[in-house]
Amino acid sequence: MIMGQGPQIVLMGPGPSNLSATVQLIMTDPVISHMDPIFLELMDEVMKMLRRLFQTENEMTIPVSGTGSAGMEFCFVNLVEPGDAVVIGVNGLFGERMCDVAERCGATVHRVDAPWGEIVPAEALASAVEKVKPKIVALVHAETSTGALTPIEEVSRIAHAAGALLLVDVVTSLGGCPVYVDKWGIDAAYSATQKCLSCPPGLAPVTLSPKAMSVATNRSTKVQSWYLDVNLLANWWYQERVYHHTAPITMNYALHEALRVILKEGLNNRWKRHQDNHLRLKTGLKEIGFELASPEGHELWTLNPVKVPEGLNAGEIKKELLEKYNIEIGEGLGPLKDRILRVGLMGESSRPQNVDYFLNSFHEIVGKS
Amino acid sequence: MIMGQGPQIVLMGPGPSNLSATVQLIMTDPVISHMDPIFLELMDEVMKMLRRLFQTENEMTIPVSGTGSAGMEFCFVNLVEPGDAVVIGVNGLFGERMCDVAERCGATVHRVDAPWGEIVPAEALASAVEKVKPKIVALVHAETSTGALTPIEEVSRIAHAAGALLLVDVVTSLGGCPVYVDKWGIDAAYSATQKCLSCPPGLAPVTLSPKAMSVATNRSTKVQSWYLDVNLLANWWYQERVYHHTAPITMNYALHEALRVILKEGLNNRWKRHQDNHLRLKTGLKEIGFELASPEGHELWTLNPVKVPEGLNAGEIKKELLEKYNIEIGEGLGPLKDRILRVGLMGESSRPQNVDYFLNSFHEIVGKS
């Protein structure tokens, strides 16, 4: 293949999203050493900006050197010791993945299932927490696989009343809709760079509360992953600056620039923009006879599941959008396969012109059938 | 800090190395989806080129989505089950790290220590293997912390005669000096992009032999890391193409281009260039009264440990080289701290003009004292 010759794709899938021009360009900055004082300064600034993005004062707020799933593993691997009870809300692929990851850490997992596409009801979590008395309650804020946004505040009260830590996946919400780590009492959260941050995939922003840090530093067993051991990472990122691993330099340039762009726009403006474009899509779909599958009142602005009626072929629509219109969208997964198409409106991709272009292109395709 | 304003550093430390211009530029290519047919094609090409680089026909030859240490963890986590005996040769920091990582996987680790700076003697490994009958024999080919290059072929015979798998760290040798995975009978190897591949840090090329794959797929316990589980990764990279995680798109562009550059130069030419520049440095140092600390006959061309005589301050020399000359080198670690300076000649950084500039700058600094 010849690089640099491909079309510019309008990225409206479940991530990655399109980059802003300055994020793209910053990656041509010369690589420097991970021990260079300039890079150490950049690490400080990345941490500061990430804290503003997560709305937290947690000192342990860093980008893990891996993708979003490494962020998930980071949270579980540091907080779980073999035999620990964990209650996990499951309403989609990423809740499923949490169970798998937690079990591999030796957790005894208690699932609280909700149908894919719905939110995880706080009451169901409450009964499980009461019964199990878990060390951790975990759930996905924004289910990328379905477009459901589960409220966190009530779950937080339930978890903390039982003395449990609250672990939340904010992969598809962070930077696109409100996420308040401190105000909501989240003890551990992870995200990814390629969704609403509009940075290439490759880093996983994470944050741990002081309470979570104390659990991680007072374990009776070693963290099973050396690469993700928060005790070593804290020492490298902000304590003694003891060399741990060679940070992905260029990716950290990109994240630094993406965070600058986000904070310059302002979180409130950014959330409003994501909401506006979500509503523009919802209205536009209605006008051509389609609707979203997301639960009323809990729609995720950044990931819009479009219901595919009987008689239309989801895979064919996705394929034609890409091949004929250069628009990337996602298909449904698991029980929602063939039943929804996933339209991402994340970061730089959340633009009215993208919404309109998608609507017209989609209409042209489905109008034929 | 203001990005894009820093000096261009001559990267002659233990990595990262300087990038070639085309690797730098490819990172401005628009991001596409990890499920885009163009990206799937790129994955195929990356695997093919990595096989040529590793000189292997191993199907499982991919870049892990993390840095070199994630590559190390990938190898151990997939091959070790709790209670397995592992013999590890330790002659520097990365052998030490192997022990730590293997223990976290539940291995019973039997160390074969050699002084830092020397190679691991095959005879010492042989006695340990005979006594322990391990599942795995592991060692570091090119110790980045000291500059010692331990020969692999004899160790391979020892390991295989005892029915063990051979696991080798080729982080600082791959792409800079001969590494023959198949010919040498290596079952598991890992590297990093930011050393002799002259790509930014962020990916870890790894390869597993069919025998290692069979061990990994026939485990009685699940791999403790979901992120690094080779069974899931094989399925994503070349079997069913089942979505696992969002690959770091831009970093894979960079790796693809770096591999193209390497194979265009040709491995033999590239090794010769690394050897030539190593010899140029060695001779030049001798002329100004310095010498390398690497073991005679086992010098690592890509990482040159310069002995620092009593009375000279290693830290000050390193600092002045960076601040006044824009040359990044590394300090000694562990028992070699203050006793050596580490001069990397890796990938694009291995150029005669860099050697000469380093020698003159170094001479100017030490000449003063």
Mean pLDDT by 10 residues, chain B (369 residues): 68 96 93 93 97 98 98 98 98 98 98 98 98 98 97 98 98 98 98 98 98 98 98 96 94 98 98 98 97 97 97 97 97 96 98 98 88
User: What is the Cβ-side half-sphere exposure of residue B230, based on CA atoms within 13 angstroms?
Assistant: 31
Domain assignment present for residue B237? The answer is yes
Helix (H) or strand (E) holding A136: strand A136-140
Q: Kindly determine whether residue A45 and residue B1, on different chains, have CB atoms separated by under 8 Å.
A: yes
Q: Is residue A329 within 8 Å of residue A345, measured between CB atoms?
A: no
Domain assignment present for residue A4? The answer is no
End residue of a domain, out of B232, B263, B294? B263
Beginning with the edge strand found earlier in the chain, give each strand of the sheet holding A303-307 in spatial order.
Answer: A303-307, A340-344, A330-331
What is the distance in angstroms between the Cα of A61 and the nearest Cα belonging to chain B? 19
Nearest to B111 by CA among B334, B187, B120, B162: B120
pLDDT digits (tens, 9 = 90+) for A324-354: 999 999 999 999 999 999 999 999 999 999 9
Structure tokens at B75: 């190898």
B136-140 and A340-344: which strand pairing?
unpaired
Domain assignment present for residue A81? The answer is yes
A61-64 and A10-11: which strand pairing?
unpaired
By C-alpha distance, the chain B residue nearest A107 is B224
Q: Kindly determine whether residue A24 and residue B19, on different chains, have CB atoms separated by under 8 Å.
A: no
- What CATH number is attached to the domain comprising A209? 3.40.640.10
Based on the domain organization, do A149 and A116 belong to the same domain?
A: yes
Q: Does A254 touch chain B (CB under 8 A)?
A: yes
User: What is the Cβ-side half-sphere exposure of residue A234, based on CA atoms within 13 angstroms?
Assistant: 17
Structure tokens at B47: 């695997």
Q: Kindly determine whether residue A16 and residue B31, on different chains, have CB atoms separated by under 8 Å.
A: yes
Note which residues in 28-57 of chain B have CB less than 8 A from chain A.
28-36, 38, 41-42, 45
Residue B8 CA to residue A367 CA, distance in Å, equals 55
Residue B243 CA to residue A333 CA, distance in Å, equals 10
Residue B186 CA to residue B297 CA, distance in Å, equals 22
- In sequence order, the β-bridge partners of residue B86 are B109, B136
Based on the domain organization, do A346 and A281 belong to the same domain?
A: yes
Q: Is residue B84 within 8 Å of residue B136, measured between CB atoms?
A: yes
Neighbours of A74 (CB within 10 A): 28
Helix (H) or strand (E) holding A89: strand A85-90
Structure tokens at B102: 């293997």
pLDDT of residue B1: 44
Q: Which residues contact B185 (CB under 8 A, 6 or more apart)?
A: B153, B156, B157, B159, B160, B166
Task: Quickly list DSSP for B241-258.
Answer: ----S---HHHHHHHHHH
Set of chain B residues whose Cβ sits within 8 Å of the Cβ of A6: 29-30, 32, 38
Quick one: how many helices (H) and strands (E) in chain B? 12, 14
What is the distance in angstroms between the Cα of A310 and the nearest Cα belonging to chain B? 25
Three-state secondary structure call for residue B73: helix
pLDDT of residue B126: 98
**What are the Cα distances from residue B133, in Å, to B44, B208, B213?**
38, 21, 20
Q: Kindly determine whether residue B104 and residue A222, on different chains, have CB atoms separated by under 8 Å.
A: yes
Neighbours of A82 (CB within 10 A): 11
Q: Is residue A1 within 8 Å of residue B41, measured between CB atoms?
A: yes
pLDDT of residue A1: 44
Q: Does A225 touch chain B (CB under 8 A)?
A: yes
End residue of a domain, out of B236, B263, B290? B263
Task: Give start and end residues of each alpha helix (H) in chain B.
Answer: 21-26, 37-54, 68-79, 93-104, 122-132, 153-161, 210-217, 230-237, 249-265, 267-287, 314-325, 352-368
Based on the domain organization, do B168 and B290 belong to the same domain?
A: no
Based on the domain organization, do A161 and A293 belong to the same domain?
A: no
User: What is the Cβ-side half-sphere exposure of residue B163, based on CA atoms within 13 angstroms?
Assistant: 7
pLDDT of residue B231: 98
Domain assignment present for residue B285? The answer is yes
End residue of a domain, out of A263, A295, A316? A263
Q: Kindly determine whether residue A29 and residue B100, on different chains, have CB atoms separated by under 8 Å.
A: no
Residue A307 CA to residue A293 CA, distance in Å, equals 6
What are the φ/ψ torsions at residue B118 (nearest 5 degrees)? -100, 170
Number of independent structural domains in chain B: 2
Q: Is residue A10 within 8 Å of residue A354, measured between CB atoms?
A: yes
Q: What is the dihedral of CA A94, A99, A103, A105, to 10 degrees?
A: 50
Based on the domain organization, do B253 and B273 belong to the same domain?
A: no
Structure tokens at B41: 């094609």
Structure tokens at A272: 């409003």
- In terms of residue numbers, what domain contains A63? 21-263
Based on the domain organization, do A164 and A57 belong to the same domain?
A: yes
Q: Kindly determine whether residue A31 and residue B16, on different chains, have CB atoms separated by under 8 Å.
A: yes
Based on the domain organization, do B274 and B255 belong to the same domain?
A: no
Based on the domain organization, do A56 and A164 belong to the same domain?
A: yes
What is the distance in angstroms between the Cα of B70 and the nearest Cα belonging to chain A? 6
Q: Kindly determine whether residue A73 and residue B36, on different chains, have CB atoms separated by under 8 Å.
A: no
Q: Is residue B54 within 8 Å of residue B205, measured between CB atoms?
A: yes
Domain assignment present for residue B146? The answer is yes
Q: Kindly determine whether residue A246 and residue B31, on different chains, have CB atoms separated by under 8 Å.
A: no
- In sequence order, the β-bridge partners of residue A307 are A340
- What CATH number is attached to the domain comprising A287? 3.90.1150.10
Residue A142 CA to residue A299 CA, distance in Å, equals 9
Domain assignment present for residue B144? The answer is yes
Three-state secondary structure call for residue A60: coil
pLDDT digits (tens, 9 = 90+) for A202-257: 999 999 999 999 999 999 999 999 999 999 999 999 999 999 999 999 999 999 99
Q: Does B151 touch chain A (CB under 8 A)?
A: no
What are the φ/ψ torsions at residue A338 (nearest 5 degrees)? 70, -10
Q: Is residue B55 within 8 Å of residue B181, measured between CB atoms?
A: yes
Q: Kindly determine whether residue A67 and residue B65, on different chains, have CB atoms separated by under 8 Å.
A: yes
Closest partner CB to B249 (pick from A36, A200, A225): A200
DSSP tag of A348:
G
pLDDT of residue A328: 97
Q: Kindly determine whether residue B29 and residue A6, on different chains, have CB atoms separated by under 8 Å.
A: yes
Set of chain A residues whose Cβ sits within 8 Å of the Cβ of B322: 36
Three-state secondary structure call for residue A166: strand
Q: Is residue A115 within 8 Å of residue A108, measured between CB atoms?
A: no
Burial A224-261 (b: 16+ CB within 10 A, else e): bbbbbbbebbbebbbeeeeebbbbbbbbbbbbbbbbbb
pLDDT of residue A272: 98
**What are the Cα distances from residue A124, in Å, to A87, A99, A102, A170?**
11, 17, 20, 21
Set of chain A residues whose Cβ sits within 8 Å of the Cβ of B35: 13, 330
pLDDT of residue A138: 98
**What are the Cα distances from residue A253, in Å, to A43, A258, B199?**
9, 9, 15
Q: Is residue A77 within 8 Å of residue A69, measured between CB atoms?
A: no
- In this prediction, residues A153-180 reach a mean pLDDT of 98
What is the distance in angstroms between the Cα of A43 and the nearest Cα belonging to chain B? 11
CA B254 from chain centre, in angstroms, equals 17
Q: Is residue A327 within 8 Å of residue A17, measured between CB atoms?
A: no
Domain assignment present for residue A35? The answer is yes
What does pTM read for this prediction? Answer: 0.97
Q: What is the dihedral of CA A298, A300, A304, A306, to 10 degrees?
A: -10
Based on the domain organization, do A215 and A354 belong to the same domain?
A: no
Based on the domain organization, do B246 and B270 belong to the same domain?
A: no
Based on the domain organization, do A208 and A285 belong to the same domain?
A: no
Residue A235 CA to residue A334 CA, distance in Å, equals 40
CA angle B165, B167, B170 (to 5 degrees): 155
Based on the domain organization, do A240 and A290 belong to the same domain?
A: no
Q: Is residue B225 within 8 Å of residue B77, measured between CB atoms?
A: yes
Domain assignment present for residue B2? The answer is no
